[in-house]
Structures are given as C-alpha cells and as structure tokens.
Structure 1
Amino acid sequence: MNRPEQRGQERRQYFRIEDTLAISWVTVPEGRVQAVMEQLRREEDQGIEADEAFAALSRRAEKLRRVQEPELRALFELLEQRLEMLADRVLHWDRRHSRADLQQVNLSAGGVAFQTVQPVLVGENIVVKLGLLEMGRTVFAGGKVVRCHEDSPGQWGVAVAFHHINEEDQQKLLQYTLHKQSQQIKAMHDQGPR
C-alpha cells in the first residue's frame, strides 16, 4: 500500500460511531488473547453450522409430515414435541447464561467503549465479541483496556484499544462504521437546517 492510501486507511479506522450492538467480553491473560479469540470463533462457526443443519432437518421433516398412516403420524408428532421441549430448554439455558448484552457502544475499527457493571483494570487484556446487527456479522477483537471510570454508582465506562484483530474482521468494522456514519450524515441532511 502506498503512503497516501495507508494514511487514509489509518484515519478511517478512527471514525467513531455511536450504535447499539450485541457485545460480550472476557478478560484473558497476556499470552492467551489469540487462543481465546480462535476458540470463540470456532464456537461461533459451530453455532452457524448447527443452525444450517437444523434448517436442513426441518425441511426434511416437512416432507415426513405428509405421511398418511396414523401410527407413523402420531409417532412423528410425539418426536416433534419432545424435540421442541428440548430445544426450548437449551435456548432458555443459553439466554440465562449468555453474557452478551445489547447496548449502546462507541465504536471504531481501532476500539470500542461500552458500559459494564464491573470495573476492569486499565492495561488488562480483553477479548470482545461484537454482533454487527445490521450486517448480520460477528467480529472478534483482542485489546487492552485503556480507560475505566465509574460513570454512576455500579456503572463503569470501559474503553478498549484493539491490538489483536484479523484483517477480515477489521475490514468488517471499517465497512460497518463507514456505512453507519453515512446513514447518520444522510439522516442529518434529510432533516435540513434547523
């Protein structure tokens, strides 16, 4: 990349937006940031594969619902009910034990600032999972806490500078922040002068 393009790329990573995202995070020891990011990505990929497999099985099950024999039809309905109960339990467990929150964040390709109920030490390593809702994509980034201050009793503002992010995820963040910024500019333009 030549020098002017590189400077433009560096400037773009600092475009900041305010947006609502699904965010979860975990503190990790110094040498484990990359390993934790890879583990989280594998778990995310397995979840996507499971969703796709479930959709394929559902399509196949639709064909079986047309069976005319009463005993087979009753058996099939019973199995469906049991599977729905099991899926419901798994989903409720996931909701109760998920640390992902939908919240307002300040985001750039270089970092994120968010609110939490627990303080984090400045300099601590952290891995963040960001759900870019409008794009339907997930981004993983590792970084260091650069600021943590109590905004109100029991509410801490945390800022993380990304140091570990793969190129694909950084491109997603750049695209997302530029897209959101252009939406905000268009909305201001559409409102006209006040």
Structure 2
Amino acid sequence: MNQERRQYFRINGKVAVDYKIITKDEMRHGRLPSQFQVSPFFLLLNQLQEYSRDSSYHLRKIAQKEPMIATYLELMNNKIDAIAHAIAKSDVDFEHLSAQEINLSEGGMSFYSPEPVELKSFLALKVVFEETHSGLLLYGQTLYCSEKQKDGQYKIGIEFTEMPESSRMIVARYILNRQTHDRQKIDEQY
C-alpha cells in the first residue's frame, strides 16, 4: 500500500459514482475523461470554483488595501456561486443516480460495484456530490477489489491519477466541509 496515500485526510460521505474501465492510452488522450455524456452545467461549478481559487490571492491583496471593495467582490462571487448552484441543481437528475457511501481522500476513494474490477485497471470516473450538486470527472487506477460481499457488491479501492489541481481542491474542500459538519453534529449532541 502506498504510504503517501495514507497521509491524506479520509472521510466517509454519500456521493453518486459511475465508472468505465479504460485503457492507459484513453487516459492519456485528455485531461478529463470524455467517456460520460454530461451537460455544460455539470462542470460549471468546478470551473467557477477554479476561478475562485485562482482569484483568492488577488482578493486577499485587495482586502489589505481596500476592505470595502474586497467585501463587495466577495458578495459578487457569492451571487455567482448561488446562481451556478441553482442551475447545477436543476440540471443534475439525482433520481437516476444511485448514491452510495464511499471513503474519500485527495489521493483516492473506495466505493461499491456490482462487478469486480481487475487490479491496476484504469478507470474513468464520474463523481457527483449531492450536497453541492457539483461533479467531477477523474481518472483512477484500481488498487484493490474485495471478494464478493454478502450484498453481492465488491468494494473497489482506487488511486486518482492525472488529477487536475482544481479537482484536488474541490475534493479537499468537500472533505473539509464534511469534517466541519461532522464536528458540529458531535458538538450539538453535547
């Protein structure tokens, strides 16, 4: 097992996962998997989050000199995010996606599949976060596939490969938000 992978924070969460087994050449063909039919809205939130990440440095610099302007720009950013979330929510049909409990880190994830997947197989992955209505298209490689479980499913562990920095940031933000949410639930119980 790759020791570097274990250095990432891991969380359990409920997301929809779809995958297709591909060749290494198919993976090298594009930065993002093209094996899935997705609307332009599917990746809209990801693009906007990438722009936000790219502009956050500049916004911090502006805030040091002109806090009122920085506050205004942050409000505009929040408005754009709200519009994008509304569009993405209306576009993603969650009724036809089967969400499942997964284990996720910035380095990879484990999920359940009705079919076994050979070790070292390359996968094109489509991951949809129900809470944020955003999705990612990623590449991965199979690290393990469990024996068939009682429910007829196989537990598949994959390591993300060729992951764009913007996708890694979205995963990191999702993990951080889940950890914060889980801590708040624990605090409310006491």
- Answering whether residue 120 of structure 2 is matched by residue 123 of structure 1, we say yes
Which of 6, 17, 31 is the aligned partner of 2:25?
Answer: 31
Give CA-to-partner distance per residue, 1:30-85, whole Å, 9 cap, x none. 121243634257x4244659xxxxxxxxxxxxxxxxxxxxxxxxxxxxxxxxxxxx
1:174 partner SS:
helix
TM alignment of 1:73-88, pairs within 5 A: none
Letter matched to residue 104 of structure 1: E
Count of aligned positions = 136
Which ranges of structure 2 fall in alignment gaps of 5 or more residues?
44-92
- Answering whether residue 131 of structure 2 is matched by residue 137 of structure 1, we say no
1:188 partner SS:
helix
Match of 1:179 in 2: 177
Match of 1:112 in 2: 109
Q: CA deviation at 1:159?
A: 0.5
Does the CA-based 8 Å contact 1:21-1:104 persist in structure 2?
yes
* Inter-CA distance 147–154: structure 2 relative to 1 (3 Å threshold): same
Match of 2:159 in 1: 161
TM-score, scaled to structure 2: 0.62
* Inter-CA distance 134–149: structure 2 relative to 1 (3 Å threshold): same
Which ranges of structure 1 fall in alignment gaps of 5 or more residues?
1-9, 50-93
Task: Say which structure is richer in helix.
Answer: 1
2:157 partner SS:
strand
1:44 partner SS:
coil
Identity %: 24
2: CA distance, partners of 1:190 / 1:110: 31
Match of 1:17 in 2: 11
Structure whose CA Rg is larger: 1
1: CA distance, partners of 2:144 / 2:115: 13
Q: CA RMSD in A?
A: 2.9
